[in-house]
Structure 1
């Protein structure tokens, strides 16, 4: 994360910067996809953005995004868990985020910061590291320095996001001057929360294969529907019990660890399946046949405009078809 922050300081002419890991692959037009995420984040209001960012949005379960957002608003009774910078109780800490126009979130009609750029665009749901049940579920569960464990944190993995220059500067100051330390996946989400910056998670396309029951996946990722939680924040067992659930939930096109990405890449490159069924591993078994979200037409394989993660090489793997 530090090189990301340093680049922003050395090149202040960039208002926002994307951090994309080298094992991410785009199957469509990269610029159009990132611009679509930017446009989505700009349209989102500040109110309840943090709550919405905790969810894995599933259209066939939640309906359209407006219906999904309305469900969260009803659960919160038009309030919000985050409304500007919280009291961090960190000596010397000075919030750098915007000040809410009204003291009570219920008085805002989803107008504040709507049409303004998001300071943090996440490519995966934001979760509370304190709720991770065991160290193997996330190795950096307790990796913090410079502040009390009672201070709320956020994390999101994989650590890929777009950050504003102001957010990167805030993280830089907190680390350099106050000695605050978090794991990379928690750095930008937590500093954004503490400073009261606008956090948005666009609903990026994700596919599973083999296909799972959508309502069961919703229970795993979200813990139920928005009306099940009075604070509007998702409480699915993933990632809090990631080790126990990865065999079921990880054959997905966008994950920190996935058994699905390699076979999708091989099919898309028209290399065919591996000669051996070698894709069954700790991240979940994947059948050799063409995934349902790909199409073979006139000998070519076509995919939706989506991102894959992780894929470590562009070369043809040993054992390919």
Structure 2
């Protein structure tokens, strides 16, 4: 079926592993949307080799061809019937008839300055898209790439007046190899699609530039051969204008780089920026900078593709070395074989590490296992309300947060901990994204915070962020809901820990002028809405341990987040003192709710593959009529065509097209060369990416 033509109505994406919602989805106990499984051809699946023909072969080929046509015809008919009847007993889903958006694929041959840019959505009328032929002279970009550096703050007078200067770090001990710069184009492909949800403007992320694969990952080894220290990958790629990134940027031989040593040397050079006792007696006392751990959740047996190696190098370079050690990147590696005693024998630990992690990352990796967590957080965990997965409380599926809490207790030197998954990708600059998200979260007031967290921000529908916030507060009153204000009210018969300091409101909700919380660092930052699971059909909403009565709670699908030391310390104490635990996507938001900690959902830009009417999008994602319609329950299918969700099929498809690979018999080298060149996207957070390589032709 992958060989059949794909039209705009039956456009399909990759088949995600284990898509049966009833078995593994953390979202719903409703009939599986198996007919919506996104599919894509495997590597090399569309390449044909012409055999040497003989009379016998001609006869065999003729018979085979006739049979194949019959099978394809029958299969095509059945496939079309399935598309008409996606779910047994249910009507066709509304978004299935929405017109497909194609502006994502406009290449660098259509680049224009951002002032001249018009998004594709301006040529839509309801659910249709006006077909436009873009003018193209060649695949060669009309603009030149520029060094993209969001670190200018470090050199400003204001920063240096209050902070110690950033000492430059290097990849090697001899300090001969400087961390590379990355490149962006100072414009956008004309009529490129714009995001429906989230806002570059609100987060103060540059939306007037775009990133293509050579400028983004060339400095990390993309595009030059392994024998020169690169990773190759660009042999058949469209390359117009890519040579310009090498005018000032030297190609680095990445063989032999030890990221553990590089990060440690960088921190030592900049220690006084973070530790008060690291300054000399006669030095002036300046502001200290928070340190952050950036934790990548990997596991034994994980396959590290060259594409991911490039992403990992970008993370470490942009977050750690280029910031003078503000971040330390760590791999937290789950050893899935519980019989391996990694905590008792250094040689076993070393051997297990080296067999499961690429050498350049050995020095930044930490191993853990479920058996180790059983020793650290021993049973019992009583009074379980429900266990729909049927798995043990110490299984990673139900307690992946245990390892994060354990890590934080062994690394108390950090102020914040980013919990990041291996199937996340970002097309923009990592430092810009994480810095701006953190600043935005710090500026958010607490009034209306939990109510805003529950909804997606749709700028074209809601207007400005302040208008959105006001609308949410008004809706809360009209709905008769009591807004969250300070620590949640708990059942008196449940023993509770004492709340951390400064979590009690200084005055009433009514008297607050949106001032409480402004300038306060967020204890939790999520990248999907923080919703009330009791108002949804999310299957794990009652997976709660240790409480005599069902407590109030919140959840955010996908555990990717930033957590403060205060929050992780509180979660740790709740676990070992109170034997309180919940499903991983529910525990951090719920503990923040119980103790009055500051939690925010960051409105990062999210793209959709189709034209969604804005009023329908608002009703679908923010105002569902009943719990089963919630996008975090029976309505989860609505996010299949998005760039960010736990099961988004469009995310992987768009990412592979950006790399120049064919997807659903579209894209690839021939189309890029014969069309408008390679893709150039704005900074976008992608999830999930289950594979990155595809056929190029």
TM range (shorter): 0.7 to 0.9
Q: 1:174 aligns with which of 574, 578, 583?
A: 574
Does residue 251 in structure 1 map to residue 626 in structure 2?
A: no
What is the alpha-carbon distance in structure 2 between the residues aligned to residue 67 and residue 205 of structure 1?
18
1:1-321 counterparts in 2 under 5 A? 1-76=401-476, 81-89=483-491, 90-96=494-500, 98-133=502-537, 138-223=538-623, 237-242=629-634, 245-275=635-665, 298-314=676-692, 316-317=693-694, 321=697
Q: 1:8 to 1:267 in 2, by over 3 A?
A: same
Do the aligned partners of residues 81 and 248 (structure 1) sit closer, same or farther apart at CA in structure 2, a change above 3 Å counting?
closer
SS of equivalent to 1:17:
strand
Deviations 1:4-48 (A, max 9, x none): 112221121211111111101111111111111101101101111
Contact 1:131 1:240 in 2 (8 A): no
| Cα 1:235–1:139 shift into 2, 3 Å | closer
C-alpha distance 147-236 of structure 1, shift in aligned 2 (>3 A):
same
Higher relative contact order (CA 8 A, sep 6+): 1
SS of 2:502's partner is coil
Partners of 1:57 and 1:42 in 2: how far apart? 18
1:81–1:236 distance in 2 versus 1, CA, 3 Å: farther
> Do the aligned residues in 1 keep the contact of 2:446 with 2:516 (CA within 8 Å)?
yes
Q: State how far apart, in whole Å, the 1-side matches of 2:691 and 2:609 are.
A: 21
Counterpart-to-counterpart distance in 2, 1:241 and 1:70: 27
Q: Using the alignment, how far apart are the partners of 1:307 and 1:240 within structure 2? A: 20
Per the alignment, in what secondary structure is the counterpart of residue 167 of structure 1?
helix
Contact 2:503 2:595 in 1 (8 A): no
Counterpart-to-counterpart distance in 2, 1:218 and 1:76: 16
User: Partners in 1 of 2:457 and 2:564 — Cα distance?
Assistant: 24
Distance 1:194 1:130 in 2: 15
Measured in 2, the distance between the counterparts of 1:123 and 1:238 equals: 17
Matches of 1:264 and 1:155, distance apart in 2: 27
**Distance in 2 between residues matched to 1:10 and 1:98, nearest whole Å:** 25
Change (3 A) 1:83 1:124: same
CA contact (8 A) 1:220 1:236 kept: no
Inter-partner Cα distance in structure 1 for 2:499 and 2:659: 48
The answer to which of 176-185 and 90-99 deviates more is 90-99
The residue aligned with 1:283 is none
- Residues 132, 20 of structure 1: CA spacing in aligned structure 2 closer, same or farther, 3 A cutoff? same
Q: Is the 8 A contact 2:555 2:585 kept in 1?
A: yes
Deviations, residues 234-292 of structure 1 (Å, cap 9, x unaligned): 989333433xx3444321000010110121012100113333xxxxxxxxxxxx579xx
Answer whether contact 1:85 1:97 (CA < 8 A) is retained: no
Number of equivalenced pairs: 288
Worse-superposed segment, 35-44 or 144-153: 144-153
Gaps of 5+ in 2: 1-400, 669-673
SS in 2 for 1:8: helix
**In 1, Cα distance between the equivalents of 2:447 and 2:638?**
33
Give the Cα separation in 1 of the matches to 2:557 and 2:505: 32
Residues in 2 aligned to 1:122 and 1:143: alpha-carbon distance in whole angstroms: 20
Q: Which runs of 5+ in 1 are unaligned?
A: 229-233, 276-287, 291-295
Which whole-Å CA distance do the structure 1 matches of 2:435 and 2:422 have between them? Answer: 19
Task: Indicate the structure (1 or 2) with the bigger Cα radius of gyration.
Answer: 2
Q: Secondary structure at the match of 1:162?
A: strand
Which residue does the alignment assign to 1:231?
A: none
Question: Post-superposition, which runs of at least 4 consecutive aligned residues in structure 1 deviate over 6 A?
Answer: none
Q: Which TM-score applies when normalising by structure 1?
A: 0.82
